[in-house]
Chain A
């Protein structure tokens, strides 16, 4: 049964009141400079932007989300990083498969929060209450933990150059799968160019090639980084990463299911391979216990491989999905590196969530 116009308005009012209770309602400009989004998220997000160019050549886009404009404005106005809570409700614009789309989102941003865990709980509570407001009484909660993966990756036996590469693929199953394949069974080296095995000699040869092509030694990839990676590839071919490392990563990433059980699986895996994840596991357990107390009716699933593919996420992440349609109704998490990417000198606690208001409103129509 579809919601009537009056019902929709009542729900909107209730939603706005809920936001105002928790945070300062803010409305960043719809027209944003597109560099902000490209700089932070690259071409993968860039392709989703609705772009336009000013008479002076500056590129603009219609805001594709609220988080970035809110965080950028916060940095400008609050150089001392005092704790601030923002809320929003309004349209965002994105290119979709079927063309450009406009849809409403509501959400919260807790920037420089004193208590990150409390902010996270507030986000979850807000998402669950908003879903219930539109009749989604028993949504499913899909939980991930970026900190857990990062702690595992820090400690596992792996040449250091691979750690950031593996991290960058977290949240993209196919790309991660291919990278792990490659670590496990390095490619054939016969079609690789022959270069001296000594780093300085290899570097000299590369410099010569760069020179010939008129490439600067000071911008772009340097001869040193090319030589290092060339030799690293050869070394990998001769001495692949230990099979146990790849197996452990695969096993970890495939852990998914009812949340409490997964904590046991991860604990067992960590013990088996001698990696200390105690602190992160404790945080996860505490979160699950709190969830059970606060929202006993919500089914919680933990997925060790679940994360947005954005490298500023640092802690727990979540998606709330409809029990009726399977649609994602809300998503959020902790991204302590966001403000750092925007200019802060060090990580700053930041937690937020976004609710897909249009999906909830249409939910009544199905």
Chain B
């Protein structure tokens, strides 16, 4: 008997919101072992095996095809691999976990209001200081893509795993690329977003792995599962796989 493997975020607001969404759809997810167990159950669909994982791990495993379906942020799929987004199908935005990946620069850079200004600044900076302009971020793939789109080559990425917004003040980088939901962290750090500096509007998505082993049984299970979430979704997604 085959089953499909669904991974959902294991903690915090993302876990709560995910379970709320499924409960509202009449597909509640139980976590019988409590918060320290990583196995879940979906009584309405016993053929769906539920596992709790961290959201970034879910993105990585979806790309690899080790899990079939998962709930994770689009930003995390982009970041897990340069072409990760092509390895998955974004089946359904879930209406929570909304956050924008943005370019953040010091408010005191009064001469920079758009990415084209940043292109000049990157070029000037190298000539003036003999160094690359540094961008602190954990979103390396998205940053490279966005900067390349705007023809900016004269910069270097400084990897930052936390408190990225503090990088300009600490001198670790001149600007940042980070995620923001309300913009309040940026504001508190006197950072601003240039007008074409929104790289991605991300939210939590139901994501289907293209690289999973999709045999006829599993495909039919997937179709039922998706149709239960939204009428007609099963057809659309299984065709796109």
Contacts and interface: CB of A to CB of B under 8 A. Distances in A.
A220 B174 contact: yes
Interface in B32-71: none
A43 B107 CA distance: 25
A210 B128 CA distance: 19
Given A164-B124, A216-B171, A221-B121, A193 B154 contact: no
Interface stretch (A130-138, A166-174, A274-282): A166-174
A229 B111 contact: yes
B110 A168 contact: no
Contacts, number: 110
A191 B113 contact: yes
B144 interface: yes
Contact of B190 (A212, A219, A223): A212
Interface residues of A, number: 46
Interface residues of B, number: 41
Contacts of A161: 124
Contacts of B117: 233
Given A42-B132, A221-B174, A230-B110, A172 B151 contact: yes
Contacts of A165: 119-120, 123-124
A65 B174 CA distance: 30
A44 interface: yes
Interface string B80-119: 0011000000000000000000000011111101101101
A206 B108 contact: yes
B225 interface: no
Interface stretch (A5-13, A149-157, A175-183, A237-245): A175-183
Contact of A43 (B83, B113, B126, B147): B147
A312 B83 CA distance: 31
A202 B110 CA distance: 10
Nearest to A172: B151
B153 A44 contact: yes
Contact of A226 (B83, B108, B168, B171): B108
A233 B111 contact: yes
Given A172-B151, A172-B153, A209 B124 contact: no
Contacts of A193: 110, 113
Contacts of B3: none
A46 interface: yes
B155 interface: yes
Contacts of A232: 111
25 contacts: A39-B132, A43-B155, A44-B153, A47-B82, A47-B144, A97-B83, A161-B124, A164-B123, A165-B123, A165-B124, A168-B126, A168-B153, A172-B151, A187-B114, A187-B116, A192-B110, A206-B108, A213-B107, A213-B168, A213-B191, A214-B190, A220-B168, A226-B108, A229-B120, A230-B110
Interface of B: 82-83, 106-111, 113-114, 116-117, 119-121, 123-128, 132, 144, 147-148, 150-157, 168-169, 171, 174, 189-191, 195
